[in-house]
Structure 1
Amino acid sequence: MPSDNVVVFDFDLTLTRWETASRFFKGLLRRQPWRMASLLPCLPLLLLMLALPATRGLPVRIAVWLATFGRSREALEALAQAHAQAVFDGGDALFVDAAVARLRLHLQQGDRVVIATGCWEPLARALLARGGLAEVPLVASTLRPYLGGWVSEQRCLGPNKIPMLAARGYAPPWAMAYTDHHADLPLLRNSAQWCLVSPTPGCLRRIETALQTRAQVVAWRG
């Protein structure tokens, strides 16, 4: 299908006020103290891994595996639904009003809007449904079972977003992209126009240097 009117939105910190998967999996660890306690003996090593670019992602993968250990797919999806309900019942505004308004404007203009996110797919779907955005197509990360827990299967992050979007009928180039992070540089390179959402100074410099142009910035998160 033609992609000349496709608009791609990142999810976390573009449409939302916080990293949704991080909050969810941390909550799963805290629900049962033994899971958190299991991490304590390894904490110095995990902190060292976080400090090194080559191993930075490993502590996160270990934490996700431990948070999901012993839980079936059905149980995890039920927990995602419960978490989404709790987020909206708790009164904290997850979605940024200005970001949602821009997304809806693109829909009203006839653009094909798709959300591409590193968030776990069932969690992102549950949050979008609670936020009244269930109809927006979603391309997100998936998990697979491994040694009693769950680990990454397809990660919808960085350059991986391109083939994952293409496989769902949203091949580049795209008309517009919105993101908050320089990890989405491959997405921006393949978009006719792009917009940064409340980027950090370092992120802004990195993207403008890489693309050799001034960025369009919106301060939706202040």
Structure 2
Amino acid sequence: MSKPDVVVFDFDLTLTGWETASRFFKTLLRRQPWRIAGVVLALPVLVPLWALPHTRRLPVRFAVWMATFGRSGEALAALAVAHADEVFGGPEPVFLAQGVERLRNHLAQGDQVVIATGCWEPLAQALLEREGLQDVPLVASTLRPCLGGWVSERHCLGENKIPMLAERGYPPPWRVAYTDHRADLPLLRNSAQWYLVSPGEKCLRLIEQTMMTKAQILPWRDA
């Protein structure tokens, strides 16, 4: 039997309507004002770090640490499940209907579909379960404990997606890739065919210049 073609989907803003991890950790911060106060007090240090490309991720990591401080891994996982229930009960759809339809079409055609995302793994898994996509393989970011909170362990973003997918049994090249973001250029370079989902102008220009071809655009978020 021949090996099924591998199709890689990004998650946030490709299959979903928003940045799921960002929304989750912001929710954790807002629910307890003292956590927000910790971030505000650190702003004199965080703002200069945000201004520099090579340190821009540090303020985000600090915010995640503040949101998770004092919480166990089990408690965070339970909060992720509760958050998934909450957003699925809200007025705004979590998943993009056209994205889910495209993913299911690939499955129906016998393709091997895998989702590779920078979202935190337990959160992405909880959201996929509520959409009925729990059986789709997921390669996602992980956290590790640090000084009473949690920080990034492996961030499934950009170049990191390549080895993380390979470790899970999905080495390049891939047949098709779907993404919304220029950070996934390494993914596109290793895919025979690729699509951009409602890309921003700057993103579109950079990817087309780098790939030296016109992008195939899917306006799922613009529909």
Q: Same fold (TM over 0.5)?
A: yes
| Counterpart position of 1:160 | 160
In 1, Cα distance between equivalents of 2:94 and 2:212: 33
CA distance change for structure 1 residues 221 and 4 in 2, over 3 Å: closer, same or farther? same
* 1:11 aligned counterpart, secondary structure: coil
- Amino-acid identity (%): 70
Preserved contact between residue 175 and residue 193 of structure 2 (Cα < 8 Å): yes
CA distance 1:109–1:4, shift in 2 (3 Å): closer
Q: Hey, what's the Cα distance between the residues in 1 that align with 2:16 and 2:50? A: 24
TM-score, normalising length from structure 1?
0.97
Do 2:4 and 2:112's aligned partners in 1 also have CA atoms closer than 8 Å?
A: no
Shift in Å, 1:3: 6.7
How far apart, CA to CA, are the structure 2 residues paired with 1:124 and 1:136? Answer: 11
**In 2 relative to 1, CA 185–4 (structure 1 residues): closer, same or farther, beyond 3 Å?**
farther
SS at match of 1:176: strand
1:151 aligns with 2:154: no
**Which secondary structure state, in structure 2, belongs to the residue aligned with residue 114 of structure 1?**
strand
Query: What does 1:1-222 correspond to in 2, within 5 Å?
Result: 5-222=5-222
Moved more, 167-176 or 84-93: 84-93
Please tell me the residue identity of whatever aligns with 1:133. L
- 1:150-183 CA-to-partner distances (Å, cap 9, x unmatched) read 0111110000000000000000000000000000
String of CA shifts for 1:48-98, please: whole Å, max 9, x gaps. 221210110000000001100000000000000000000111232010000
Superposition deviation, residue 4 in structure 1: 6.3
Aligned length: 222
**What is the root-mean-square deviation in Å for CA atoms of aligned residues?**
1.3
Deviation at 1:44, TM superposition (A): 3.3
Q: Check the 8 A contact 2:4/2:110 in 1, yes or no.
A: no
Cα pair 1:6 1:114 within 8 Å, conserved: yes
TM-score by length of 2: 0.97
Alpha-carbon distance between aligned partners in 2 of 1:38 and 1:100, rounded to the nearest angstrom: 38
Do the aligned partners of 1:3 and 1:172 also contact (CA within 8 Å) in 2?
no
CA displacement, residues 192-211 of structure 1 (integer Å, 9 cap, x when unaligned): 00000000010000001111
Query: Are the equivalent residues in 2 in contact too, given 1:16–1:94 (CA < 8 A)?
Result: yes
Task: Give the CA deviation at 1:120.
Answer: 0.2
Alignment partners' CA distance in 2, 1:48 and 1:93: 36
Runs of 5+ unmatched residues, structure 2: none
State the AA in 1 paired with 2:184: D
Q: Distance in 1 between matches of 2:63 and 2:179?
A: 26
- Give, in whole Å, the separation in 2 of the partners of 1:82 and 1:110: 33
* Aligned amino acid, residue 86 of structure 2: A
**Residues in 2 aligned to 1:40 and 1:121: alpha-carbon distance in whole angstroms:** 28
Q: Does the 8 Å contact 2:50/2:57 carry over to 1? A: yes
Deviation, structure 1 residue 41: 1.9
Secondary structure at 2:132's aligned position in 1? coil
Amino acid in structure 2 at the alignment position of 1:27 = T
Q: Distance in 1 between matches of 2:40 and 2:68?
A: 17
